[in-house]
Amino acid sequence: DAGITQSPRHKVTETGTPVTLRCHQTENHRYMYWYRQDPGHGLRLIHYSYGVKDTDKGEVSDGYSVSRSKTEDFLLTLESATSSQTSVYFCAISESIGQGAFFGQGTRLTVV
């Protein structure tokens, strides 16, 4: 199994507070992704990274920011959490375009 760890695995937070989710990999893969999964929507891309300090927006990036200061860590920050950001968040890593991505276990975030 690919070495990819998400933390925390579960979190409950209050509306308006900042939240940071961490994705850590031990595979030295170039690409890292953050998705959110909601019923009826599948997996939607929030942000992704194609190298250290190289990031780009996905289809649902509003309200989220990311940082990648080193290869192994990709952080997702909810600047001011809202109830609409209650979701399951997945991190994924990939070495090349032709390779399927490997996923973390997911983080269930509840904003109350």
Summarize as ranges the residues that interact with other proteins (CB under 8 A). 31, 33, 35, 40-45, 48, 50, 56, 58-59, 88, 90, 92, 94, 97-98, 100-103, 105-106
The burial of 65, by beta-carbon neighbours within 10 Å (0-12 exposed, 13-18 middle, 19 or more buried), is given as middle
β-strand partners of 103 = 92
Q: How far is the CB of 103 from other proteins (least distance, A)?
A: 4
Beta strands in 8-72 (DSSP E): 10-13, 19-25, 31-38, 42-51, 54-57, 64-70
β-strand partners of 23 = 6, 74
Q: Which is nearer to other proteins, 62 or 98 (CB)?
A: 98
Q: Which is nearer to other proteins, 73 or 95 (CB)?
A: 95
Q: Which is nearer to other proteins, 98 or 112 (CB)?
A: 98
Q: How far is the CB of 70 from other proteins (least distance, A)?
A: 19
Separation of CA 101 from chain center? 13
Q: Which is nearer to other proteins, 10 or 70 (CB)?
A: 10
